[in-house]
């Protein structure tokens, strides 16, 4: 339970200053000695008011309810998030209420820095609204909500700071990509949906069962739910399947934070580019991912997969969790018939060794690097990452 405490930097009223209270007690003692009834009554009224308001503020948070809601929790840089705070006064005692929101300042900032004020009578409620601006890619906490409750005269305000553990996901920026294409893999040389062979791993959806469809394609769970035979609709095996790989080892070794962010923007832009063209897109990385999310997203063709890829890119940290060959060996069973786009800081001996692995599995690979340097012998395979953008990312 979040505890409340007195506001430390509150401007002290003359009625609440310690020196004035001591002086009032002294005058009360003198008035009683001299039997000055009116003066004694006046001082008692002032002291009683101070005691009453202090008690009022102490019980201000009693039977108060606060609930926050979000317009959305996933945005792109430059977009805003609206946060609603519902405050309910479930008691007879009226209170003054102030609320303000402080973002973490790294990826989110508050659009307005001013506090909002409201006066709540018995069993009333009010709603505060705050706008947060997304600055850069990442996974951030929502921030802190500072709530202040005070008495009728606002002599003794008390505050409570509530932290919200909701993750705010800020995706990488998306830029237009220069069209480039990769070879298709197919059975019998038959392109597209004309292929006689469908891949049961890549399921698009379901439809009513057709009598000529093999029994093994029946979707038994969907049939049981709808009390009607349903069959799986699979993607043709010749569908272009693209795996985007981001290796963070060399970014971490060179402490290349800016290059890392640019590469993630490129990976996100390529994922959107291929998804818009109906390709099956997957993602793999050896980076540490905030929230203990997996570093591999299977190749599928739907918006949910694209959303998972963008969220994984947003949660990535520039720190390796394991070596990239280990990632490939863990998921080698689902990497048949794919094209690979490999993104790294630069080319080194370890990445060159991976070429033999790709060649053995017949996986075509395009390499995009932040720092091309000298890659003799591979002029057509290794490309600078800036080459995929229609315009320079830094100019957007």
Q: What is the pLDDT of residues 289-324, one digit of tens each?
A: 888 888 888 877 777 888 899 999 999 888 888 887
In this structure, are 210 and 258 located in the same domain? no
Q: Return the higher-pLDDT residue of 336 and 190.
A: 336
Q: How confident is the model at residue 395 (pLDDT cuts 50, 70, 90)?
A: very low
Q: How confident is the model at residue 194 (pLDDT cuts 50, 70, 90)?
A: very low
In this structure, are 140 and 221 located in the same domain? no
Mean pLDDT value across residues 236-255: 79
- CATH number of the domain to which 289 belongs: 3.40.50.410
pLDDT 10s digits, 130-154 = 888 888 888 888 777 788 887 777 7
- CATH number of the domain to which 107 belongs: 2.60.40.10
In this structure, are 87 and 232 located in the same domain? no
Report d(CA 290, CA 104) in Å as an integer: 17
- Does a structural domain hold residue 182? no
- Does a structural domain hold residue 186? no
Q: Average pLDDT over the chain, rounded to whole?
A: 76
- Does a structural domain hold residue 318? yes
User: Cβ distance 53 to 151 under 8 Å?
Assistant: yes
In this structure, are 44 and 91 located in the same domain? yes
Q: In a 10 Å sphere around its CB, with 0-12 CB exposed, 13-18 middle and 19+ buried, how is residue 316 labelled?
A: buried
Structure tokens at 102: 């402080």
Predicted TM-score (pTM) above 0.75: no
The pLDDT, as a whole number, for residue 105 is 64
- Does a structural domain hold residue 114? yes
pLDDT 10s digits, 214-230 = 777 777 787 888 888 88
Alpha carbon separation from 149 to 15, 16, 57, 75 (Å, rounded): 19, 17, 7, 33
DSSP, res 211: T
C-alpha torsion sign, points 27, 33, 37, 40: positive
In this structure, are 135 and 253 located in the same domain? no
pLDDT 10s digits, 247-268 = 888 888 888 888 888 999 989 9
175 pLDDT higher than 60: yes
- Does a structural domain hold residue 181? no
211-224 in b/e form (b: 16+ CB < 10 A) is eeeeeebbbeebbe
In this structure, are 135 and 48 located in the same domain? yes
Q: Angle at CA 297, nearest 5°, toward 108 and 265?
A: 40
Report d(CA 274, CA 179) in Å as an integer: 9
> The domain containing residue 164 runs over which residues?
1-170
The pLDDT, as a whole number, for residue 188 is 39
In this structure, are 130 and 159 located in the same domain? yes
| Domain final residue pick, 211, 236, 261 | 236
| Total number of domains constituting the chain | 3
Q: Return the higher-pLDDT residue of 361 and 235.
A: 361
Report d(CA 295, CA 316) in Å as an integer: 9
In this structure, are 230 and 306 located in the same domain? no
The pLDDT, as a whole number, for residue 349 is 66
Helices (H), the chain: 18-33, 37-58, 220-226, 249-254, 257-276, 303-315, 324-330, 349-360
In this structure, are 316 and 368 located in the same domain? yes
The pLDDT, as a whole number, for residue 8 is 62
pLDDT 10s digits, 9-42 = 655 555 556 666 677 677 667 777 777 777 777 7
Nearest Cα to Cα of residue 232 among 263, 201, 260: 201
Nearest Cα to Cα of residue 138 among 70, 69, 75: 75
Q: How confident is the model at residue 6 (pLDDT cuts 50, 70, 90)?
A: low
The pLDDT, as a whole number, for residue 350 is 65
- Does a structural domain hold residue 79? yes
199 pLDDT higher than 60: no
Task: Say what percent of the chain tops pLDDT 90.
Answer: 2
61 pLDDT higher than 60: yes
In this structure, are 223 and 85 located in the same domain? no
The dihedrals phi and psi of 279, each to the nearest 5 degrees, come to: -90, 155
332 pLDDT higher than 70: no
In this structure, are 387 and 259 located in the same domain? yes
Structure tokens at 66: 């606060």
C-alpha torsion sign, points 252, 255, 259, 261: positive
pLDDT 10s digits, 103-129 = 766 778 777 777 777 888 888 888 888
- Does a structural domain hold residue 290? yes
In this structure, are 340 and 317 located in the same domain? yes
- Does a structural domain hold residue 178? no
């Amino acid at each position: 339970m979040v505890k409340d405490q007195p506001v430390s930097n509150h401007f002290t009223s003359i009625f609440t200053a310690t020196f004035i209270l001591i002086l009032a007690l002294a005058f009360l003692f003198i008035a009683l000695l001299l039997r000055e009834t009116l003066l004694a009554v006046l001082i008692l009224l002032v002291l009683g008011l101070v005691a009453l308001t202090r008690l009022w503020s102490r019980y201000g948070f009693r039977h108060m309810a606060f609930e926050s809601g979000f317009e959305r929790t996933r945005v792109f840089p430059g977009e805003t998030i609206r946060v609603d705070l519902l405050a309910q006064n479930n008691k007879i005692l009226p209170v003054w209420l102030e609320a303000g929101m402080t973002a973490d300042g790294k990826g989110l900032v508050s659009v307005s820095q001013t506090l909002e004020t409201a006066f709540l009578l018995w069993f009333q409620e009010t709603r505060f609204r705050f706008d947060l601006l997304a600055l850069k890619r990442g996974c951030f906490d929502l921030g802190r909500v500072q709530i202040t409750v005070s008495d009728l005269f606002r002599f003794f305000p008390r505050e409570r700071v509530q932290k919200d553990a909701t993750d705010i996901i800020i995706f990488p920026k998306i830029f237009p990509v220069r069209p480039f294409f990769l070879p298709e893999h197919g059975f019998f040389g038959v392109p597209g949906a004309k292929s006689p062979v469908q891949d049961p791993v890549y399921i698009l959806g379901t439809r009513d069962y057709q009598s000529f469809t093999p029994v093994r394609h029946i979707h038994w769970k969907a049939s049981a739910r709808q009390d009607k035979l349903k069959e799986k609709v699979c993607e043709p095996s010749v569908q272009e399947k693209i795996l985007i790989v981001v290796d963070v080892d060399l970014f971490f070794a060179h402490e290349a934070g800016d290059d890392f962010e640019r590469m993630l923007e490129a990976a996100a832009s390529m994922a959107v580019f291929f998804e818009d063209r109906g390709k099956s897109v997957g993602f793999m990385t050896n980076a540490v991912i905030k929230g203990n999310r997996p570093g591999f997203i299977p190749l599928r063709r739907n918006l949910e997969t694209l959303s998972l890829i963008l969220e994984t890119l947003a949660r990535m940290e520039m720190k390796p969790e394991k070596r990239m060959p280990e990632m490939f060996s863990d998921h080698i069973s689902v990497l048949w018939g794919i094209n690979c786009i490999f993104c790294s800081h630069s080319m080194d001996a370890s990445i060159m060794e991976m070429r033999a692995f790709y060649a053995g599995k017949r996986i075509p690979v395009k390499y995009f690097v932040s720092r091309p340097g000298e890659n003799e012998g591979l002029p057509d395979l290794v490309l600078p990452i800036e080459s995929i953008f229609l315009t320079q990312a830094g100019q957007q």
